[in-house]
Structure 1
């Protein structure tokens, strides 16, 4: 048997493609589709002014499968679909759209569309190709490619697990670009996907009516019908590209040679065609659960289950916590089972249980376990009985209700300390334990600070100080806010204060380029740091700064000649080194240190 493995499709690059009909009639409604071969990203649509936008962009995500030379691969594509309507004649161009993925911006090509009068656009049937002479050539895949749906049980009970799967079959027909619509939509059912990792799909070979097919299971789910009666699962649509042999129109020849030229060796024209197919619909007759002999505690569990219970401490003191752990395991609608009830004694304070689940999905369906941890605190001493805990469920294999129960727990509680705030516990999920005894306090003993009767704070100097303190603090706060707003409104002052910080930030980036020997980026950042520092520090627009005017403008700001020479020398070295090949790292270090020295010298001159 030939074994095949499915692998993910890794595109060499992210591509955003645009597609639409090239010729439409006035009044026609058509689709404009942008497709990207990866998930995620921020999509920016085009500006559409020459067409009426009816809807969009509508996002559609589809799984893509390919079967080539016996190997199946899978990938995901995202489509952004606009529904447009043409309302005037002419030739129009829709500008490119763009999408940002991982910081990179990718653009599509512009789309050109010609709008003509009605009844002048030729239509081509789906599943047909046009030959070089303009004649349509019929293509037919027959039973070579099809999608088939399987169901494990067509007459289940309400709530019973049913497994449905969808397989694609292909016989000697290479296919690619497989898209399935609404694959996971099952109205009337609670569904769980049984194929969580599509990279593990293993195509197999099957023989149907003497024909060998390559099959791949595209989707498999466990369904739990939520109502009785007839429920229909609609057919799923599948679109794919198939490489099929076409039969063109030929003039009549001599019958002797017809069979010769019709031989596949001489007439093996293959073309890629887009085909559409549907799976078979599925009809289920869901039987209602029997009413007679239904247990009083039945809450909808359907399947085969067992329970196991344990207690963490059966001998404890009052105000200690006790935890009973209940595990329900089996196969069926585990996640739909309600929380079992425990009849605690009235002297126990109870809390909501902590629920954890361990659900396993396999090819045969859903199974696993759910764990309920019930926490309670006894407030009185004595001997108490808890349980047994019961679970009633319906077994579809036997068509009968069954009840399973845990053991009965005997709990001995002794009187603990009288302190109302001494609550201890040893279980789990005790974050909700309440603190009792807040309303009645015991008499306190010890030494206390007492004051003479008749002494009050009112009308004392401290009273008036505390009374005026909020007003004084509010006034100071208002002055600080007004002063801060004035400073922020002074753009020149703000730029002056941030000049050094911005320059050091640019020099830090330049230092990174220095370490990685990126010369062009290094010199650019150094130049940006120096020019930006002078512009911000002395409030000189960048447009007024140049190598010809820098000395004059800095002299007007009372900058020393030595500092001006250092700055001009640093800029000249940057410009020379940027275009001089083969410069060493020593020159880059020298320029970097010179820039730091210039900024430090300017700061020192301004402070003095």
Structure 2
């Protein structure tokens, strides 16, 4: 019998042999990759279940001073052996989780809860000990520190976080670990624009941040390369903001990787001091009734596109508020409700935001030739410096409004010569009719244009200008929402995109929809929306808030917001 036949018979016998189930008994092993680490180093928690695949982690650990990464897994492995006439099957499940300490000290990590074959298991039997020590050599070659952190701010007040870090080492790799990045509960990041010449450094192994290299600095007589990470945030609610210590890791290159050998690095760590910021509420005492939420140190200016206009013509008034404040989130003044603008009609409002500037353009139509100026546009602002409400207002703008028929306006006067303003009581005989000349044809054309303009004005007065900025934003709201959701990588950005959609549809600033109770708003409208639609809307807002105020700030399913927006548009919202 040849060898191939013998091998085939062996495989047949193996298949016919009894097969054992999972290995006898189920074992669970939970361990740390290292019990002793330097501050700034990363270690791993490994969870291994042997003997079954029916296992899951019920509750990941949580220890103050340790940042646990997301649970990676499960990774299932299976192996079969032919031994002693029997086929033995071995199966195991494994998870892994990164741990990064934020301070020096002794830590106890409690047992992990798992569900194995339908039973609750806690492993290991005793808490795991971890010791974190200071990287003394890293503190010599690296540094990271917070600059000029405010101790308190007011709700709605922007503040800056300025991190400076650097090293005296030449070549290597940089890593930043910021517990409060990319989002922090109770704040919103305010976009200020990236300066030129920035670098992109990794943050928390999953994100990148733009940093700027500053001039070299001397530390203990040694030149250091210095970098700056600057961000501006806006406090959204009263309370205490906790900012845990930030870690700067520099990996010095000892040997670079080649085809034949892996690279070698020596890692140095430095850590900043943790800090707190107290957020105070805007005081009720002295608050004007027409305060629209502006907070900061703001100034204002205005400009117009023309000062000499015919009665019924349009003047574009652009008002800008700029400075250090919540320029993106307050409600701009409504000129229809301001004293002094009774003789103006507001055709449209275009609202835009540019870094530290809020710019609003009002399309005004003066309705009387008696108007001699555009009144000031006032707004109340809460000043965190003086802790009082300050009224800022534009200067008035002198204008001239020409009435129809004004000689200075170039309009012809009624006289002996027949014109469009004359009414002749005596009929003209058929024989007395003169042939139409160029002047009369021109007059007819002017009459037609005048009638067209009058009809267009009446339609816009009753139905609104379909080409006004507000109407264009309303039509484009759904398309802009879809575009914003495609590029949003966090729940905070999705919340702002949904707020901007509602603001565009309702003609309000986006800030008015941040945190608004949609059920109360629907009831206040007089014609409440359907209960199922409000339930879906409230669930989306709750999920966005839960994710935005968590450390992960992971985006939710964007199709839910698109479907909601389509339903609201279908209801005529």
Coarse TM-score class (shorter-chain normalised): 0.3 to 0.5
TM-score, normalised to structure 2, is 0.41
| Larger-Rg structure | 1
TM-score, normalised to structure 1, is 0.39
